[in-house]
Structure 1
Amino acid sequence: MASKLLKISKNFTAISQRLKCSHSADFQAALSSLNSPTELTVANNNLRVASQSSDSEITTVGLFIDAGSRYEEASNNGAGNLVHRLLLKGTTKRAQADLESEISSLGARIYSFTSRERSALYGTCLTKDVPKLVEILSDVIQNPKLSADDINKLRNDILRESSDVEANVEDVVFDYLHAVAYQGTPLGQTVLGTQENIKSLSSSDLKYYIDTHFKASRIVLAAAGGVSHKELVQCAEQNLGKLDNTFDGEAPVLSRCRYTGSEVRLRDDSLPYAYFALAVEGPGWSSPDRIPLLIASTAIGAFDRSQGNFEDAYELCHNYKAFNTTYSDTGLFGVYIVCEPMQCDEISRSALKTWHRIANSITDAELDQAKNRLITQLLSQQSSSKGICEDIGNSILSLGRRAPLGEVVASIQNISNQTVRDVTDKYTSNKCLVVSAVGPVEQLMDYVNLRARMYLTRL
Structure 2
Amino acid sequence: MIPRLSLLKCSVPTLSRALSYPQVPLTSPLPDLKIPLRTDNASQSWNIEDSKFPPTTVTCLENGLRVASQEAFGQSGIVGVLVDAGSRYEVTYTSGLSHILQRMAFNGTAKYPTRDSVLATLDPIGGMPNCQRARDVLIYMVSSLSHGLPQAMDVLAEAVWRPALAQEQLDAEKTGVGFELDEIYNGPNSEALLEEMIHQASYPLNTLGLPNICPKENIDNINRGELLTYLSSHFDPSRMVLAGVNVDHGQFLELAKQYFVEADTSWKGVAKRQIDGSISQYSAADVKIKREGPPVVGPNPFPELIHVAIAMESCSYLDPDFFPYAVLNMYMGGGGSFSAGGPGKGMYTHLYQGVLTQHHWVYWAMAQNHAYKDSGIFCLLGSAHPSRARDLTQVLCQQFHHMTGVPNDVALSRAKEQLKSAMMMNLESKAVVFEDIGRQLLGQDFKMSPEELCEKIDTVTSSDVQRVGQRLMESSPAFAALGDLSEVPSRTDLETALFKNKGVLRSKKKLFTFGQS
Match of residue 228 from structure 1: 248
1:273-301 deviation line (CA, Å, top 9, x unaligned): 11111111121120111110111111110
Among candidates 79, 90, 94, match of residue 72 of structure 1: 90
Residue identity opposite 2:58 in structure 1: L
Q: Aligned-pair distance for 1:163?
A: 4.0
The normalised TM-score by structure 2 is 0.78
Bigger relative CO (Cα 8 Å, ≥ 6 apart) = 1
Structure 1 ranges of 4+ moved more than 3 A: 30-35, 243-251
Distance in 2 of aligned mates of 1:244 and 1:259: 39
Question: In the alignment, is residue 352 of structure 1 matched against residue 397 of structure 2?
Answer: yes
Assess, with a 3 A threshold, how the Cα gap between structure 1 residues 108 and 456 changes in structure 2: closer, same or farther.
farther
Q: Aligned-pair distance for 1:153?
A: 0.9
1:364-405 deviation line (CA, Å, top 9, x unaligned): 111101101111111111012111001111111111111011
Does structure 1 retain, via aligned residues, the 8 Å contact 2:121–2:151?
A: no
Distance in 1 of aligned mates of 2:50 and 2:87: 37
Distance in 2 of aligned mates of 1:52 and 1:230: 12
Compare 122-131 and 325-334 and name the one that shifted more. 122-131
SS at 1:361 equivalent:
coil
Question: 5+ unaligned residues in a row in structure 1: which ranges?
Answer: 1-12, 15-29
Distance in 1 of aligned mates of 2:336 and 2:354: 13
Q: Aligned-pair distance for 1:257?
A: 2.3
Match of residue 277 from structure 2: 254
SS at 1:435 equivalent:
strand
Distance in 1 of aligned mates of 2:64 and 2:474: 44
The normalised TM-score by structure 1 is 0.88
Match of residue 355 from structure 2: 314
Among candidates 58, 71, 78, match of residue 60 of structure 1: 78
Q: Aligned-pair distance for 1:198?
A: 1.6
Q: Aligned-pair distance for 1:104?
A: 2.0
Q: Where do residues 75-224 of structure 1 align in structure 2 (5 Å cutoff)?
A: 75-96=93-114, 97-164=116-183, 165-167=185-187, 169-224=190-245
Q: Aligned-pair distance for 1:111?
A: 2.0
Match of residue 448 from structure 2: 403
Distance in 1 of aligned mates of 2:319 and 2:332: 21
Distance in 2 of aligned mates of 1:31 and 1:373: 26
Residue identity opposite 2:157 in structure 1: S
Distance in 1 of aligned mates of 2:409 and 2:306: 34
Residue identity opposite 1:313 in structure 2: G
SS at 1:279 equivalent:
strand
Compare 172-181 and 208-217 and name the one that shifted more. 172-181
Question: 5+ unaligned residues in a row in structure 2: which ranges?
Answer: 1-25, 28-47, 295-303, 503-517
Distance in 1 of aligned mates of 2:210 and 2:273: 22
Does structure 2 retain, via aligned residues, the 8 Å contact 1:45–1:243?
A: no
Distance in 1 of aligned mates of 2:289 and 2:239: 38
Q: Work out which of the two has the higher radius of gyration on C-alpha atoms and give 1 or 2.
A: 2
Q: Aligned-pair distance for 1:248?
A: 5.5
Distance in 2 of aligned mates of 1:406 and 1:41: 22
Assess, with a 3 A threshold, how the Cα gap between structure 1 residues 166 and 194 changes in structure 2: closer, same or farther.
closer
1:394-437 deviation line (CA, Å, top 9, x unaligned): 1111111110110000000111110110111112x253101100
Cα RMSD (Å): 2.4
Match of residue 310 from structure 2: 278
Among candidates 440, 450, 453, match of residue 494 of structure 2: 450
Residue identity opposite 1:130 in structure 2: L
SS at 1:432 equivalent:
coil
Match of residue 64 from structure 2: 46
The total of aligned residue pairs comes to 429
Residue identity opposite 1:340 in structure 2: H
Q: Aligned-pair distance for 1:54?
A: 2.5
SS at 1:360 equivalent:
coil
